[in-house]
Copies of this chain bind each other. A is one copy, B any other.
Amino acid sequence: MSVDVPQRVLILGGVRSGKSAQAEQWAKHSARPVTYLATARIEDEEMRARISHHRATRPAHWKVIEEPVALASTLRAHAHPEGLILVDCLTLWLTNLLFDSDPQCVQREQDALLALLPTLPGTLILVSNETGLGIVPLGELTRRFCDQAGRLHQALATLCDPVLLMVAGLPVFLKGHS
């Protein structure tokens, strides 16, 4: 990955597939100042433990921002041409949107992200869970999530390059090259 060209990187993958590690490795190697945008809401001990585990693996000098919902406006506020923003992850952001918001807001936030991508200064690395390759469990919210996540990934994949699917810590390049 060239460190000079503003890029949009989309890293998909399953549970514990090495998505975050891949993203963080890329960010470290970019030689750019990194802003880490965490979308998680800490709502129970399990989530707290997962977040602590992730945090311990990241460089201490990275700037960390927490924003569970207003992703596009937060990206716009923190982007600059020499910088790199790592968003981990879109899945939690989309879940937060679906739980909290009216349907119009869900669509508006996603549209805002998609509209922002082509013009945002600097490098952006987006991490998201691929959840569409299993049986979809019962429940209207789960089906809505799967539909929204699938559509969002398709739309983002047209705007990003490279696009990766992580399996067992190894990248499958869906778009672009290694």
Contact = CB atoms under 8 A, between A and B. Distances in A.
Copies in the assembly, this chain: 3
Contact of A170 (B134, B167, B169, B174): B174
Contact of A130 (B12, B14, B137, B163): B14
Interface in A112-166: 130-137, 142-143, 145-147, 149-151, 153-154, 156-158, 163, 165
Interface of A is mostly: mixed
A163 B154 contact: no
Interface residues of A, number: 39
Contacts of A154: 16-18, 168-169
B168 A15 contact: no
14 contacts: A15-B136, A16-B153, A17-B154, A130-B167, A131-B134, A132-B133, A132-B134, A133-B134, A135-B142, A150-B168, A153-B168, A163-B168, A168-B174, A170-B175
